[in-house]
Amino acid sequence: MTYFKLLSHEKTLFLFLVLCQSLYVEMSIAQNVTVDTFVCIDITQDSILKSSLSQKSARVSGIVTNQVNNVLNSFLQRQNTNFTVDNETILYDSKGNSHFRYDVKYKGIPVHNYQYTIHSADDTLNTITGLNLFSDDISVIPSITASEAIEFAKTNLPAQKYFWEDAELEEMIKHITGDVSASYYPSPELVVFKDAQQLPVLSYRMELSASIPLFSYEVFISAMDVLLFRQAKLI
């Protein structure tokens, strides 16, 4: 008998959906929110960025990394010196061209759903695309604790039994991850999140799931005053 058969069919199905839902979250969050401006910068027509290119870039990541960093840092520094990038992902299109994607951080804090990509064609870096960076200067020191954010989330999403209060589910997540400390108890992460007016707000992001009643949400709570409360149903 496998481990999954020890769970009820309803719980097993729900857990499977929770594990598969992350690709669809942003569609729910984006409803009724002003869309950020998308930018597309032609490196070859920008003298400052073009000067960052010292040579043609082969599609071998180690060779082009310095050039990509030079171009992207030149772009970010003239926008706002508080922005940096992290977590490089290299993608290849059907023609074999390289595309270097990075997550954006503000004063070291991830900016939710913000990425910049540098594209290449014919072995030359040529374009930068991404969402327009904000110019606001905001604090990244939270005024409330992660524990307070969790309690606020539970107040807004009450349940008779949350996932972490279900011993069967807690045992399962430890088994799936191979981590004896794994838990469904929320782990708030500080992020910069745009509110409905497209103003950047230091926020706690967490996932909150319950078995009675069955639900799972991605939640954003302002880390400054808990006035911002945004939720997106995960399934």
| Radius of gyration, alpha carbons of the chain | 21
130 burial type by CB count under 10 A (0-12 exposed, 13-18 middle, 19+ buried): buried
163 burial type by CB count under 10 A (0-12 exposed, 13-18 middle, 19+ buried): buried
Q: Whole-angstrom Cα distance, residue 153 to residue 195?
A: 17
Average model confidence (pLDDT) for the chain?
81
Of residues 103 and 22, which shows the higher confidence score?
Answer: 103
Q: Identity (one letter) of the amino acid at 140?
A: V
Distances (CA, A) of 192 to 74, 102, 139, 145, 169: 22, 16, 10, 16, 31
The pLDDT of 124-137, averaged and rounded, is: 89
3-state secondary structure 124-157: EEEEEEEECCCCCCCCCCCCCCHHHHHHHHHHHC
125 burial type by CB count under 10 A (0-12 exposed, 13-18 middle, 19+ buried): buried
Of residues 50 and 183, which shows the higher confidence score?
Answer: 183
Tell me: the pLDDT tens digits for 33-43?
345 688 899 98
> In the beta sheet, which residues pair with residue 213?
none
Cis preceding-peptide flag for 142 (omega within 30 of 0):
no
Q: Please give the DSSP secondary-structure letter assigned to residue 23.
A: G
The pLDDT of 85-90, averaged and rounded, is: 88
**CATH (residue range 38-131):** 3.10.450
pLDDT at 13 over 60: no
Residue of 86, 85, 82 lying closest to 135 (CA atoms): 82
Residue of 114, 149, 155, 107 lying closest to 132 (CA atoms): 114
pLDDT at 66 over 80: no
Q: Would you place residue 30 in the very low, low, confident or very high pLDDT band (cuts 50, 70, 90)? A: very low
Q: Which run of H or of E encompasses 68?
A: helix 61-79
* Structural contact between residues 42 and 126, judged by C-beta atoms closer than 8 angstroms: yes
Q: Would you place residue 64 in the very low, low, confident or very high pLDDT band (cuts 50, 70, 90)? A: low
Tell me: the pLDDT tens digits for 193-216?
988 888 899 999 999 999 999 999
Domain ranges of the chain: 3-33+139-233, 38-131
Residue of 120, 105, 113, 98 lying closest to 38 (CA atoms): 113
